[in-house]
């Protein structure tokens, strides 16, 4: 039926062992023999049997990339960058290609674990886990256990855009400085003269939400604005446009006099803009708006969005290279990646 190594060997008049060695290029083979084998491979249109090879060699060329939401460019950009970094690291040697695949957890902890098990089952060469973690201790424990098992089985584990985990299960961690970024964003608003600043946060159970909110609070506290308003002007929602819209209406109801809204991310900020506009408020004349992440569409928003730029592409590439073992891990295994404040047209001094 399908062509096997033995078929190729027969056609090239060598032993299967030799064909295997030519294909893997990890053993000296005379040039003329190699030539003959390669020709046979070509003529028979032979494709290696991955499972058989993985079984015999006890390693596979699968690399998994876990994302929370594949329809969100935040993850798409990182995943795409990681995937191409992994694809490009194939040193040109035949058969050296890795199969970098992305798995969409939809933000569900169970699916996250399920995918990790599936990847473990496939004896994946590496796993890149992206995006904010759940704060839930039970899940962290389960995840740590799973990653440890993966690590023990020889799978390289890399965290990207996610806080470090306890234990030494993880080969490398690339964490975003969400807290610092959020702080500088709020500081920007404060320096413009804003005092009544609403905050549209993400889901409480996510570390990203907590870190960004902490950064915001840091800045507010430093400005002496940590009164009871802090809680009253914070609304939690999901990382969606609709959530930003709803939350902003709520904020407006709680304090119609607020002069700025900080959103958990750019997508949420878009929803906030819609709600404000609908309320007859102009941006930034009446109310300033700020986002986070600097996704591609943010610069196109009207007005263009002030936000914190996260080097998603660069982080993805680095994560991919780390997963391949092509880069050495940062000292201590953890690198914190700073965000960069991008001041654009959606923020301005408050009126009066």
Partner DNA sequence: ATCGTCGTAGCAAGCGCTTTCTATCGCTGA
Partner DNA sequence: TCAGCGATAGAAAGCGCTTGCTACGACGAT
Out of 35, 39, 43, 51, point to the residue binding a copy of itself (CB under 8 A): 51
The alpha carbon of 349 is separated from its chain's Cα centroid by a whole number of angstroms, namely: 34
Out of 31, 71, 138, 253, point to the residue binding a copy of itself (CB under 8 A): 71
Q: Considering the complex, what minimum distance in angstroms separates the CB of residue 191 from a copy of itself? A: 28
Q: Are 272 and 245 in contact (CB under 8 A)?
A: yes
Check binding of 15 to a copy of itself (CB under 8 A). Answer: no
Q: Considering the complex, what minimum distance in angstroms separates the CB of residue 94 from DNA? A: 11
List the Cα angle 294/106/201 in 5-degree steps. Answer: 50
Which of 82, 38, 155 is CA-nearest to residue 320? 82
Contacts of 231 (CB under 8 A, 6+ apart): none
Stretch touching DNA by CB under 7 A, among 45-53, 77-85, 156-164, 318-326: 45-53
Out of 49, 84, 144, 148, point to the residue binding DNA (CB under 7 A): 49
Q: Are 209 and 217 in contact (CB under 8 A)?
A: no
Which of 167, 166, 144, 170 is CA-nearest to residue 156? 170
The alpha carbon of 87 is separated from its chain's Cα centroid by a whole number of angstroms, namely: 17
Out of 39, 43, 55, 351, point to the residue binding DNA (CB under 7 A): 55
Contacts of 86 (CB under 8 A, 6+ apart): 63, 98, 100, 320, 321, 323, 324
Q: How many residues bind DNA (CB under 7 A)?
A: 30
Binding residues for a copy of itself restricted to 222-281, rule: CB under 8 A: 241, 270-271, 273-274, 277
**Smaller CB separation from a copy of itself, 97 or 231:** 97
Binding residues for a copy of itself, rule: CB under 8 A, are 2, 45, 47-55, 60-62, 64, 69-73, 76-77, 79-80, 83-84, 87, 97, 99-104, 106, 111, 114-115, 117-123, 149, 153, 241, 270-271, 273-274, 277, 296-297, 300, 302
């Amino acid at each position: 039926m399908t062509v096997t190594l033995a078929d190729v060997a027969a056609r090239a008049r060598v032993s299967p062992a030799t064909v295997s060695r030519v294909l893997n290029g990890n053993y000296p083979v005379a040039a003329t023999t190699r030539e003959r084998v390669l020709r046979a491979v070509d003529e028979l249109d032979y494709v290696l049997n991955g499972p058989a090879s993985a079984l015999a060699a006890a390693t596979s060329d699968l690399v998994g990339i876990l994302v929370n939401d594949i329809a969100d460019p935040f993850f798409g950009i990182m995943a795409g960058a990681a995937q191409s970094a992994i694809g490009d690291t194939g040193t040109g040697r035949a058969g050296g290609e890795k199969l970098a695949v992305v798995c969409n957890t939809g933000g569900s902890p169970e699916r996250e674990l399920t995918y990790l098990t599936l990847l473990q089952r496939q004896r994946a060469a590496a796993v890149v886990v992206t995006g904010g973690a759940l704060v839930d201790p039970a899940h962290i424990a389960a995840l740590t256990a799973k990653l440890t098992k993966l690590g023990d089985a020889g799978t390289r584990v890399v965290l990207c855009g996610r806080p470090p985990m306890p234990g030494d299960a993880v080969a490398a961690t690339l964490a975003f400085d969400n807290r610092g970024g959020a702080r500088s964003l709020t500081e920007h608003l404060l320096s413009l003269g804003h005092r009544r600043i609403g905050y549209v946060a993400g889901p409480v159970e996510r570390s990203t939400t907590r870190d960004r909110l902490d950064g915001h609070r840091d800045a507010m506290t430093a400005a002496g604005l940590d009164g009871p308003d802090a809680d009253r002007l914070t609304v939690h929602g999901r990382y969606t446009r609709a959530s930003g819209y709803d939350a902003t209406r709520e904020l407006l109801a709680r304090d119609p006099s607020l002069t700025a809204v900080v959103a958990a991310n750019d997508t949420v900020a878009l929803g906030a803009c819609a709600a404000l506009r609908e309320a007859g408020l102009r941006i930034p004349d009446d109310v300033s708006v700020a986002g986070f992440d600097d996704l591609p569409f943010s610069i196109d928003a009207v007005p263009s969005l002030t936000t914190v730029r996260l080097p998603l592409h660069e982080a993805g590439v680095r994560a991919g290279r780390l997963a391949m073992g092509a880069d050495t891990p940062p000292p201590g295994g953890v690198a914190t990646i700073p965000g960069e404040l991008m001041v654009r047209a959606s923020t301005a001094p408050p009126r009066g």
